[in-house]
Amino acid sequence: MPGQKLIEVFGAGPVSVVRAPGRVNLIGDHTDYNGGYVLPAAVDREVRIAFRPSGDSRVEMISADFDERAAFDLGGIAPGQAQGWVKYPMGVAGAFQAEKYPVAGMRAVIRGNVPIGAGLSSSAAIEVACAMAFCSVSGLKIHREKLAHLCRRAENEFVGMQCGIMDQYACLLGRKDCALFLDCTTLDMELVPLDERGAKIVICDTRLKRQLVNSAYNRRREECEEAFIILQRHFPEVKSYKDISIPMFRAYAHDLPDPLAKRAKHVVTENARVAQAARLLKKGDLIGFGALMDASHDSLRNDFEVSCRELDLLVGIARESEGVFGSRMTGAGFGGCAVALVRPDCVAAFTAKVSDGYQAETGAAPGIYVVRASDGATYENADCRLPNEAEERSHNSHKSHNSHRPLAK
């Protein structure tokens, strides 16, 4: 446990612990940074940090998973300064400072079981756990929605990954046995029940690790921005891809050169799929939901071109397995994981078929993780918590533009 390691290395004293989950995106990839819809869930794979105040401006951290130690001073943080896992806590501290939050030093030990580089957002889990630890040692009460933005800023400006807000929102605001239907433009959200008695979430890991900052991820974002500028000339009233319907896109798709037309087609159609998927999930229509998962993967493979042989192989085997409602790659792509919704009584057979089939084709065993939608990040200390905006509005009796009103009608 990280608490025991903290005492072993830094001596006796108070120990606080925070946990932050990974996340799986059920449908809606590459729509978040385009201001569209996503449907992620926090999962019961997590990062834990045991920590205590240092009493000075030094941050000393140990990664129990890597058996590595790192330290930095809060007075000398700059973008691109660190490499490896320490860039995430350093980036979070830098994001706090950039927004004028006073940050105190700490001693901490990190341990987690979120697969790294697999598309389950281990980076966001580390960022969120570090942010909550910094809040605790610094005496800050920052609501969860704002904390998500701070963690995204750390990723964008200090790590160099131009991600959207989905990962951090899911890690902080997830709820047990629920998916989070999120509008990434307005940040309106709705929790949609996901009963594991009807379907289990099964993650299939290619074991291909992604280095997204150095991959085509940021180029895909640039292509989407270029395509949107062209489409907006015809529809000056639209603010994001979410405002562009499929008929609107089809009317002017001929104005977009390749590959911009394919990138925009994916984003527009994926937004429509996510909105429909949320409606179907509310009705308990897992068959219809699964068909949309299948269509999403096809679009990510053919139009957004972020799949790969290994992901397509996993998805293909999954689709041929008994009791599978749907399967798709999940996350940014270029490796990482596929996700499937599987009937509970078929999970064992599904796991065996996917493992055997993938290993026969690639010579490598996939990672198979059966996960459950979980609560967002929490402190283990009963007297330590962070509010969210909904609680603040209820307390202060006023409305906010980020109201958590239903989206899936």
Q: Please, which residues have CB within 8 angstroms of residue 245's CB and are 6 or more apart in sequence?
A: 268, 272
Q: What are phi and psi of 329, to 5 degrees?
A: -65, 155
Contact assessment for residue 159 and residue 205, using Cβ atoms and an 8 Å cutoff: no
Kindly tell me the sign of the dihedral angle through the C-alpha atoms of 8, 10, 14, 17. negative
The residue written with tokens 């269509």 in the block is: 295
Q: Please, which residues have CB within 8 angstroms of residue 290's CB and are 6 or more apart in sequence?
A: 324, 325, 326, 327, 341
The residue written with tokens 């690639």 in the block is: 362
Contact assessment for residue 376 and residue 171, using Cβ atoms and an 8 Å cutoff: yes
Contact assessment for residue 60 and residue 107, using Cβ atoms and an 8 Å cutoff: yes
The residue written with tokens 């942010």 in the block is: 131
Q: Write out the E strands in 278-333.
A: 324-330
Q: Write out the E strands in 10-141.
A: 16-27, 37-53, 58-63, 68-73, 106-112
Contact assessment for residue 177 and residue 373, using Cβ atoms and an 8 Å cutoff: yes
Give how far Cα 338 sits from Cα of 26, 31, 51, 296, 316, Å: 10, 17, 34, 12, 10
Spatial separation of the C-alpha atoms in residues 229 and 102, rounded to whole Å? 39
HSE value, Cβ hemisphere, 13 Å, CA-based, for 122: 19
SS (H, E, C) 5-18: HHHHHHCCCCCEEE
Pick the closest to residue 354 from 343, 344, 371, 368 (CA basis). 368
DSSP state at residue 99: T
Catalytic (active-site) positions: 167
